[in-house]
Structure formats: structure tokens, C-alpha cells
Structure 1
Amino acid sequence: MRQPLSGRVIPRQIRHSELRCHLDNCLDNHEQCFLREFKTGTVEEHFWLIDTIKRMVVPKGQNTEYAALSYVWGGSRADYTHFKKLALRNAGIWSTINRLVAGNGTPGAKLPENLPATISDAIDFCRGIGIRFLWIDSICIDQESQEMKDYLIPKMDSIYLRAIVTIIAAAGDDAHAGLPGVRPGTRSDNRDIISIQGRKFITAYARAKEIIAKTTWWKRAWTFQEGWLSPRCFIFTPHEVFFCC
């Protein structure tokens, strides 16, 4: 039986520097995680990324480090259909890109202002931990280009294996759930804190594996595969973030 007063107080917002330390420790010391990235092919075409500083969709440069986002589009067919419409709305990005490419201009396009919370939070989180580029399927794949989808979908393993880290949105049922702790007021901790002789004690949450196994993200084969492929993951749950590698 677990000790009832074995928990720790979790801050209301994430600490970017602490999470970055976990990532750097893996990058610097875990050779087995590093080697996983090279057990797959490369993506030579149609590889676009979000520049989290400029908030633009840009072509991936050679040896560019990037994070990837794994999330649930919608908890029901209606939610999924609604989000797919939002993704298709990003066609404006791709019409701009295609026009610039055709005219030999510098390819790239600004992101829309109103993005689903999970996507917006992922962009802010990457910027906060010093990762400039981010790959998100609904934005970085032209949803109206069958050629691009036919090329990239079979290469999803390469995209997630070669990401420096995958951000897993396991806190909700759709793309509007957000990443708890990135913005103020999005993470709660309702556990009782007890003081005994000047020391504070708090009940513990369930183990990470138990928490994650109950999420919608875990139960979807597609998203579960994305997490399984990734050498490193930040897993956002309603109350805390877990790092695994």
C-alpha cells in the first residue's frame, strides 16, 4: 500500500528550466535514445515546420532540430469533423506558400491568430524550453494536397523518431483541451495539504502509468503509436508533466 502522505506540491505553472534539464540530461547521457533516431529513413520532401518565434510555417532546413506534437483531434466524430474544418481553414497558409514557391520567393506563411488551445500551448511551450521549430500534422501538412499526404503519412515513423522530443497532449479529449500548466489558471491541484509539526504533507496522485492509461490519447491507436515511436516525450496530464525516454 502506498503511503497516504507521500506526494509533493505541484506548481500551478510548469517550470521550463526544470523540464529542459530533463531533456538535456537525456540528450547528453542516453546513447540508446540517441541511436533510436537513426533506425529509420529520412523525410526528403514536403517537410515543413512551425517557427515558434516568427509564428510562421517554413521549410525544414538541413539538420534542424524540432519537436513534434501528438494529440487527439476530437473525442467524437462531430469534434473530429469540426477540427478537420479548422485544419482545412489553414489552406490559406498553403495557398500563400505555393504562390511564393511558384514565384521563386522565400517560402513561408504566417500562422492564423486563433489556433486551438493545444496547438497554441505547444508553440508557447517549445519557445519556453528553447526549441524553435515544431511539427504539427494539421498545420504542417497541406490538408488539400493528396500528393503531400500520400508522401508523408507512410513516413510518420521517421517524423516522430527524428524529433528531439514529442509533446504529448494527454489532458483532454480534443485539440481545444490545451496543455495544463503552460498558461496561468490551466492546472489545478485540489489535494489537501496537512501540516504536522511545521512540516507539510500532501496525498500523492496515482502513478504516472495509471494516469496516462486512463487518457483518451492512450486509447487511440494512432496517437499511442506516435508516443511509442518517440525517443523522448513530455506527457502533459491534467495535473503534471511527465518526461520519459
Structure 2
Amino acid sequence: LPIQRDDLDIPFVKRRVENCQAYHDMNCSPIKQTPVNLRVIDCLSGQVVDAPELCQYTAMSYVWSQCEQFGGGPEHRSSILEQLPRLMKDCVKLTIKPDYRYLWCDRYCIDQSDERQLSFQIRQMDSVYANAEVTIVAAAYIDGLPGI
């Protein structure tokens, strides 16, 4: 069934994350080390920045054709929020609502023009997703996230 606008219960999501961290030992415990050279979207400033040490972030998994407007790189130092497609804007909202500040999305946080950096980041994607507080999955081509 499709999610209705008022279906997403952010306090429920926060409680589930806290429960995982409290009772699932190392599988869900807070991160011990930020992945190497991780860049994230600062959802408050709209800039792609180097992740702070022990950064708590959400990660996004999606169908690439939804977000192909531009790729991350050194030229994206100013706010990118207005340039993002609706799906990404919804992910920013979903990151901020449970009090997270940072969002990782490969398309925007990995410099797509730097083959060496791209290869390195692809090899550590398991660590990027494993260390995310929450992973948002947009499994189908949609314009935005239902319920946000």
C-alpha cells in the first residue's frame, strides 16, 4: 500500500534506532570510525562537506535516474539544496526531522569526475552504509518520498 502523507512516524523511527543501538551490541552500536574521506551533505547549510569525526548521518539508496542533475565534486562548495530534485529534498527533510544533520548520497558526495576517488569510495560503500544511522531506500522511480 502506498504511504500516505501522515503515515511516517518520526518518533517511532527514532525509538527504533535507539533500541537497536542499546540492544544489538556491535551490529547497531554507534560508529567507531567515520569512513575514510567521507563527504556528506550538511542539511543545514546545503553544502557538501568533509564528514566530521564520528559523524552521525543518514545514507540514501535510490535509482540513479531520479537524481542525475549533477554529480558531486569540488565545484559544489555552495548550497546545493535548491538544485536538488524533489526526491533528494525529501531525503534532506527526513534527515533533519529526527535531528540528524548530515546526509550521504553517492551522486552528490562522491566526485564523479575523479576516477581514483570514485573507485576508492565505491570500494568502501559497505562501510558507508554500515555506519549510517539510518538508510533511506527509494526502491522505485518516484518524484519524492511518500509520507514526507
TM-score of the aligned structures, taking structure 1 as reference length: 0.53
Determine which of 84, 87, 95 is the counterpart of 2:70.
87
Identity %, equivalent residues = 30
How far does residue 18 in structure 1 lie from its aligned partner after superposition? 2.2
**1:43 corresponds to 2:35:** yes
Q: Which runs of 5+ in 2 are unaligned?
A: none
**1:113 corresponds to 2:104:** no
Structure ranking higher on relative contact order (CA contacts 8 Å, 6+ apart): 2
How far does residue 166 in structure 1 lie from its aligned partner after superposition? 0.8
- Report the counterpart of residue 154 of structure 1 in structure 2: 123
Choose 1 or 2 for highest CA Rg. Answer: 1
Maintained 8 Å contact 1:69/1:136: yes
Amino acid across the alignment from 1:67: T
**1:70 corresponds to 2:61:** yes
Maintained 8 Å contact 2:31/2:54: no
Amino acid across the alignment from 2:27: C
Query: Which whole-Å CA distance do the structure 2 matches of 1:72 and 1:141 have between them?
Result: 16
Q: Which runs of 5+ in 1 are unaligned?
A: 1-9, 97-107, 183-245
> 2:82 is paired with a residue of what secondary structure?
coil
Q: Kindly report which structure 2 residues correspond to 1:1-245, keeping only aligned pairs within 5 A, or say none.
A: 12-13=5-6, 14-34=8-28, 43-45=35-37, 47-74=38-65, 83-84=67-68, 86-88=69-71, 94-95=74-75, 108-170=77-139, 172-173=140-141, 176-182=142-148
Query: Which whole-Å CA distance do the structure 2 matches of 1:36 and 1:128 have between them?
Result: 19
Closer/same/farther in 2, CA of residues 36 and 130 from structure 1, 3 Å limit? closer
CA RMSD of aligned residues (A): 2.5
CA displacement 1:10-49 (0-9 Å, x = unmatched): 76322222221222121222215226967xx96322x111
Maintained 8 Å contact 2:58/2:134: yes
Query: Which whole-Å CA distance do the structure 2 matches of 1:64 and 1:37 have between them?
Result: 8
> 1:87 is paired with a residue of what secondary structure?
coil
Query: Which whole-Å CA distance do the structure 1 matches of 2:53 and 2:30 have between them?
Result: 19
Closer/same/farther in 2, CA of residues 12 and 150 from structure 1, 3 Å limit? closer
Flag as ranges the 4+ runs of structure 1 deviating above 3 A. 35-38
Amino acid across the alignment from 1:140: C
